Structure 1
Amino acid sequence: MKKTLLALAAIAASSAAFAQSSVTLYGVMDASVESVKANGSTVTRVSSDNLATSRIGFKGTEDFGGGLKANFALESALKADTGAQGNSARFFDRAAWVGIAGGFGDIRLGRIDTPIGDIAGNVLSAQAYDDLKIVGTRAGDAHRRADNAITYFLPAIVPGLTASLQYSTAIGNSSSFVGADKKTAGAEVSGTTSNNYGKAYGLAVKYVAGPLSAGLGYEYARDELASTTTAPTIAGNQKANAALGYAAYDFGVAKVTAYYDVETSLQNLTTASKARRLSVTGAKVALPVAPNFTVIAGASVARNISQSGVIDADVQIVTVKAIYDLSKRTAVYGMFTNVNNDTSSTASVDNATAGFSAADHKTARGLAVGIKHSF
């Protein structure tokens, strides 16, 4: 009898070890008072997401033992200023994936960051006051995340080195595709104009060794636009690519980061116009000026940001952020961004609001003071 009870206890303990599950609720709330000026107009308002995107999420793990785990994540953006859903097209717009991980690496299926989107959003920052978002790079906007993705994170072979590969059957994004024919979010279409519509490949490599960090991401879309209703018309086979790289070094008294983004023009263009590729060259310096208080100053130059392919569509952007950590979960901040447009560019801190883009060769700016809380 005693042996039987011991055997049952061992089986129960073994079963528990092979089925350890956990689910975590987490989120971020970010709200600020901002004043944005562009095209001779100024708007002052309470806004959301200027330092980080407000969100609520669920993530979970089931441990099967032997290093094998099942994982999932569901994450939804929301607006702290209104309580509205962050994306009206879908609820879990930031993440919706399930996967399995082990000694072979980590495989995830579903909506998730693209390799270049991970670098833009989680390493360099791609919020409303940041250059990669303002000028509409693929890493900061149209290819920030991928629908219908198969993502593979390679196992760690070299200390500090991580790598990922991704394939999407219909990449989509948090809003829609760039260009005249905007792709419905998450849609997979038949090959009426192109069998490759929405298919994309991505990869990234990141390395950390003490104070040094660096990374490179690449994205290739086989057919970003199936067709276009505006000239020039080139139905199907709209290949597009983007690359984003960075290098950073923490000197103790300051952390310096340099980055470079280069990609295919944002519009369906003739071969001659496509030669003018969008590029962003930038640098940031983070200064820990006092305990829990950091000032980040950045400057960048973006070239050929116009979707019409005209010349002199360049922008110079300067950003200053001051962040004071009240605790590990709560911070107050202030930020200022100045956008200086050349002859044919109209970028501003708030490109999303109708009629609020800057006029050609004019300056736009934004100033925000807010609070961010993580839970």
Structure 2
Amino acid sequence: MKRVASISVAVALTGISATAHAQNSVTLYGIVDAGISYLKTSSGNRYSLLSGGLSGNRWGLKGSEDLGGGLKAIFQLESGFSIGTGKLLQGGREFGRQSFVGLSGERWGSVVMGRMYDPVVDLVQPLTADGTGGSVPFATPGDVDNNDFSARVSNAVKYSSPNYSGLQFEALYAFGGVAGSTGQGYTASGAVSYSQGPLKLAAGYFQAANANAASGKRTGWTSATTDALFEGGSINTAYQSAHMLAIAQVAGQYQIGAFTLGAGYSNARYTSDGESTFAATQKFNTGRVYGFYRVSPGLRLGVGYILTSASGDASARYNQVSAGSFYTLSKATDVYATAAFQRASGTQRTASGGTQAAVATISSYGVDGTSTQAIVSVGLRHRF
């Protein structure tokens, strides 16, 4: 689920050839995060060990080789796992969070190939409450707009520009790999960000195409590039057979002394075609505001509000309030307490094609409540 900047231990390796000096570096890094949570579910209250209450558990390797003239070869391999069971996440992939290799230049930017985050996640998501607070409970109900970056992109090529006096941009394209049909299973995305003093702004667009059905109707999301964005419970489960998923998102943030204030908007569209099991395009419009206050160097408090309005195929509204307290014990370790409450109203489409009263589902935890849901978590996170 979460991706936050990690504090890592680097091992520098230096090789000398007869003609040139090449400096190599390899970094081992990771995050381990576990807590105890209370969650209101559709079948009653649940108390459990929570794996990744703030940040998805992971370990990884990243490195570079200096090729001279400001050019570097770069790579990153990152594996996600459950702290409670030790199982691999991201569908059991060994390096399911990220796995890419590429080239980076000081003046022209970088190009990487493999499995990675899309540009909206890279540039826009850090300005949301989920990105700023590093806290899953602040993410969109059901993660319908990939605000908690549940989906990653495989078979992709991504270009990232240098920083031009605060301005940066990225573009990505992932190949569907279907012979004779470039319109199946592809993903395309682009984003731009601007930072000047206390002000940060970003906007981006993401579009992913599903694969065609072998015959008749699709049975789900089978794109070879973008992961299925349906981990967040029943809010968007009925739209796994969509022909196209498109997400536009903007966010802004302003720093005022010890306060960090932000706002954002996203529009997610699940578009149908003749092979979909639903007829009308389903739209999720989400507005969000948040504020964080640094009480002391070690203590930070945050609160956020999100409204998601669904329309098109089914009409529903999801109101969510989130709060958190984060205390740093050291440069690598912090403790936290978070809470969120969500209320749902209106009607949802079900996976079987029927309708039901809308149910609350906080973030990407993937567990439905009733018309309301609450979660309270306390935990410990360590970075290495």
The aligned residue for residue 32 of structure 1 is 35
Structure 1 residues 161 and 323: CA distance shift in structure 2, 3 A: same
Whole-Å Cα distance in 2 between the matches of residues 337 and 105 of structure 1?
39
SS in 2 for 1:117: helix
Structure 1 residues 300 and 98: CA distance shift in structure 2, 3 A: same
The aligned residue for residue 210 of structure 2 is 224
SS in 1 for 2:92: coil
Task: Report which stretch shifted further, 211-220 or 86-95.
Answer: 86-95
1:310 equivalenced with 2:314 (yes/no): yes
The aligned residue for residue 81 of structure 2 is 78
1:369 equivalenced with 2:369 (yes/no): no
SS in 2 for 1:159: coil
1:202 equivalenced with 2:209 (yes/no): no
Structure 1 residues 46 and 97: CA distance shift in structure 2, 3 A: same
Whole-Å Cα distance in 2 between the matches of residues 264 and 200 of structure 1?
15
Whole-Å Cα distance in 2 between the matches of residues 319 and 293 of structure 1?
17
The aligned residue for residue 144 of structure 2 is 136
1:265 equivalenced with 2:266 (yes/no): no
Query: Equivalent residues in 2 for 1:155-304 (5 A)?
Result: 155-156=162-163, 158-170=164-176, 188-190=177-179, 195-221=182-208, 223-227=209-213, 228-229=217-218, 238-265=243-270, 273-274=280-281, 276-304=282-310
Whole-Å Cα distance in 1 between the matches of residues 363 and 162 of structure 2?
40
Q: Contact 2:148–2:364 at 8 Å: present in 1 too?
A: no
Q: Could you tell me how far 1:86 is from its partner in structure 2?
A: 2.0
Q: Could you tell me how far 1:161 is from its partner in structure 2?
A: 1.2
1:326 equivalenced with 2:329 (yes/no): yes
Whole-Å Cα distance in 2 between the matches of residues 198 and 45 of structure 1?
37
SS in 1 for 2:140: helix
The aligned residue for residue 361 of structure 2 is 348
The gaps in structure 1 that reach 5 residues or longer are 1-10, 171-187, 231-235
Whole-Å Cα distance in 2 between the matches of residues 61 and 351 of structure 1?
33
Q: Could you tell me how far 1:81 is from its partner in structure 2?
A: 1.9
Q: Contact 1:149–1:169 at 8 Å: present in 2 too?
A: yes
Alignment length (residue pairs)? 331
Q: Could you tell me how far 1:351 is from its partner in structure 2?
A: 6.5
Q: Could you tell me how far 1:340 is from its partner in structure 2?
A: 0.7
SS in 1 for 2:101: strand
Whole-Å Cα distance in 1 between the matches of residues 246 and 202 of structure 2?
17
The aligned residue for residue 358 of structure 1 is 369
Structure with bigger RCO (C-alpha 8 Å, 6+ apart):
2
SS in 2 for 1:116: helix
Identity of aligned residues (%): 27
Whole-Å Cα distance in 1 between the matches of residues 124 and 83 of structure 2?
23
SS in 2 for 1:290: coil
Q: Could you tell me how far 1:215 is from its partner in structure 2?
A: 0.6
Structure 1 residues 119 and 164: CA distance shift in structure 2, 3 A: closer
Whole-Å Cα distance in 2 between the matches of residues 31 and 270 of structure 1?
38
Whole-Å Cα distance in 1 between the matches of residues 290 and 127 of structure 2?
12
Whole-Å Cα distance in 1 between the matches of residues 46 and 242 of structure 2?
42
Q: Could you tell me how far 1:302 is from its partner in structure 2?
A: 0.5
Q: Which amino acid aligns with 1:207?
A: Y
Q: Could you tell me how far 1:122 is from its partner in structure 2?
A: 4.0
Structure 1 residues 61 and 284: CA distance shift in structure 2, 3 A: same
Q: Contact 2:61–2:77 at 8 Å: present in 1 too?
A: yes
Q: Which amino acid aligns with 1:198?
A: G
Query: Equivalent residues in 2 for 1:38-117 (5 A)?
Result: 38-102=41-105, 103-117=107-121
Q: Which amino acid aligns with 1:201?
A: A
Q: Could you tell me how far 1:237 is from its partner in structure 2?
A: 9.6
Structure 1 residues 266 and 42: CA distance shift in structure 2, 3 A: farther
Q: Could you tell me how far 1:82 is from its partner in structure 2?
A: 2.0
Q: Which amino acid aligns with 2:304?
A: G
Q: Could you tell me how far 1:285 is from its partner in structure 2?
A: 0.1
Query: C-alpha deviations, 1:255-300, integer Å up to 9, x for none?
Result: 10101111213766699832x5211100110011233100110001
Query: C-alpha deviations, 1:12-51, integer Å up to 9, x for none?
Result: 587552x110111000011010010022511111111111
Structure 1 residues 139 and 291: CA distance shift in structure 2, 3 A: closer
TM-score (norm. length: structure 1): 0.80
Q: Could you tell me how far 1:358 is from its partner in structure 2?
A: 2.2
Q: Kindly name which structure, 1 or 2, has the bigger radius of gyration based on alpha carbons.
A: 1
SS in 1 for 2:320: strand
SS in 2 for 1:129: helix
Q: Could you tell me how far 1:348 is from its partner in structure 2?
A: 1.8
Query: C-alpha deviations, 1:149-175, integer Å up to 9, x for none?
Result: 10001233x2111111100013xxxxx
Query: C-alpha deviations, 1:57-111, integer Å up to 9, x for none?
Result: 0001000121010000000111112222123431101110000011221000000
Whole-Å Cα distance in 2 between the matches of residues 160 and 282 of structure 1?
24
Q: Contact 1:37–1:43 at 8 Å: present in 2 too?
A: yes
Q: Which amino acid aligns with 1:150?
A: V
Query: C-alpha deviations, 1:332-353, integer Å up to 9, x for none?
Result: 0000011111122223237666
TM-score (norm. length: structure 2): 0.78
